[in-house]
């Protein structure tokens, strides 16, 4: 099977490639590096604003939100061209792919103007306040409370693993607004500026290195949030959360394909055993591409099989993780050296994807956790794809 495109899609690709050739920042311009997933260097802010203004930031969006109302196939080739050049789409990925997208889906016109457009234009950055101690991937168990008091909510509680919170200007925060409602109900989504009194951010090091300060604990002590910062209807935050994690599901597998392609480019097997698992990686990448292409074709026909996308997420995330693990094992003690690089420097990419083999392996766990763990994906596949009975 070979994925081909009509002339209009290839013309779209060629136009974007020409734009990149003319406007891509140079290595000399991109000397300042991102410190976290909510820190965008000045040069990258200018670059993201240019993409927005020219309709190349999120081509599927309408022009007023940084796009060109592009088809799903045009969006695919746009991401493919970024991947080929190792261009990181945005140094605030949650802001671009989750928070702004959620506001465009569920927000008011005022929220889109006040928050979504500045996030898309990199004028402000955003982080996602979802996980809590004891409620990592189980949003229904969250305990952070918001009590309505006149024209404000009073928020108390704690979030954890809040990536980039210390550099973010605003948090999309999920809170419990009706403690008497069933677990999946009584949840609401609030936009909370990070300079609000009573909000404290505490960054901490990650598994990859103590100086890797992206994760945060966030504490809320009587934080007052205006009612107009409620995203979506009161007590309907579960819908917003599912939408937040579900944006671009049809193309999510491409991020795992990128990691696999990078491993194929960056690692050269030496022993027969290394060549054997390298061949497995090649086959896994081919399988992911074929399954992804089939899903893409269905989406282009207007038939998005959401449960089947769990197969892509599970296969892609676990194959990329297994390959990174094998590369680390093959490197031996040298793979643990830090800091270290395992790929040529690419000024438009994120260095954490080309660090030591240990760093690349450790970061692969994000793919099997974020957006629904592998266990959750297996349950979806069993019940909604294979039709197995629930216990």
Which residues form the catalytic set? Answer: 248
Burial 140-160 (b: 16+ CB within 10 A, else e): eebebbbeeeeebbbbbbbbb
Peptide bond into 339 cis (omega under 30): yes
Angle between helices 72-84 and 272-300 (to 10 degrees): 150
Inter-residue contact 244 to 102 (CB < 8 Å): yes
The DSSP element (H or E) to which 274 belongs, if any, is: helix 272-300
Hey, what long-range contacts does 54-60 have (CB within 8 A, 24 or more apart)?
Answer: 54/19, 56/16, 56/19, 57/90, 57/96, 57/120, 58/96, 58/120, 59/12
d(CA 242, CA 238): 6
- The sign of the torsion formed by the CA atoms of 375, 377, 378, 382 equals positive
Please state, as a whole number, how many other Cβ atoms lie within 10 Å of the Cβ of residue 329: 14
d(CA 319, CA 360): 13
Q: Is 217 helix (H, G, I), strand (E, B) or coil?
A: strand
Inter-residue contact 121 to 92 (CB < 8 Å): no
d(CA 186, CA 375): 25
∠ Cα 231 235 238 (to 5°): 75
How many helices and strands (H and E) does the chain possess? Answer: 14, 8
């Amino acid at each position: 099977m070979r994925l081909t495109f009509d002339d209009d899609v290839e013309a779209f690709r060629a136009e974007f490639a020409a734009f990149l050739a003319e406007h891509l920042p140079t290595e000399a311009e991109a000397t300042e590096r991102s410190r976290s997933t909510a820190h965008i260097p000045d040069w990258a802010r200018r670059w993201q604003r240019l993409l927005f203004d020219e309709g190349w930031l999120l081509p599927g969006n309408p022009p007023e939100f940084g796009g060109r109302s592009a088809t799903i196939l045009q969006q695919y080739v746009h991401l493919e061209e970024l991947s080929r050049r190792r261009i990181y789409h945005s140094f605030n990925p949650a802001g671009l792919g989750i928070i702004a997208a959620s506001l465009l889906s569920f927000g008011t016109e005022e929220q889109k103007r006040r928050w979504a457009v500045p996030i898309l234009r990199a004028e402000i950055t955003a982080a996602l306040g979802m996980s809590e101690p004891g409620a990592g991937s189980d949003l229904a168990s969250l305990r952070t409370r918001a009590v309505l008091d006149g024209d404000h909510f009073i928020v108390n509680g704690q979030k954890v693993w809040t990536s980039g919170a210390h550099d973010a200007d605003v948090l999309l925060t999920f809170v419990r607004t009706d403690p008497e409602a069933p677990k999946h109900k009584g949840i609401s989504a609030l936009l909370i500026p990070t300079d609000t009194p009573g909000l404290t951010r505490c960054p901490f090091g990650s598994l990859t290195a103590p100086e890797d300060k992206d994760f945060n604990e966030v504490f809320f002590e009587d934080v007052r949030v205006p009612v107009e910062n409620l995203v979506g209807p009161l007590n309907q935050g579960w819908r917003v959360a599912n939408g937040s994690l579900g944006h671009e599901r049809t193309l999510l597998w491409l991020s795992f394909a990128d990691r696999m392609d990078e491993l194929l480019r960056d690692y050269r097997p030496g022993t027969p055993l290394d060549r054997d698992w390298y061949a497995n990686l090649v086959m896994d990448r081919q399988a992911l591409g074929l399954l992804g292409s089939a899903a893409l074709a269905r989406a282009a026909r207007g038939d998005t099989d959401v449960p089947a996308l769990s197969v892509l997420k599970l296969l892609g995330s676990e194959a990329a993780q297994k390959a990174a693990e094998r590369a680390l094992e093959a490197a031996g003690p040298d793979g643990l050296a830090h800091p270290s690089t395992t790929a040529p420097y690419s000024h438009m990419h994120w260095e954490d994807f080309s660090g030591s083999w240990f760093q690349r392996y450790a970061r692969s766990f994000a793919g099997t956790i974020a957006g629904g763990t592998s266990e959750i994906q297996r349950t979806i596949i069993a019940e909604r794809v294979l039709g197995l009975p629930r216990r």
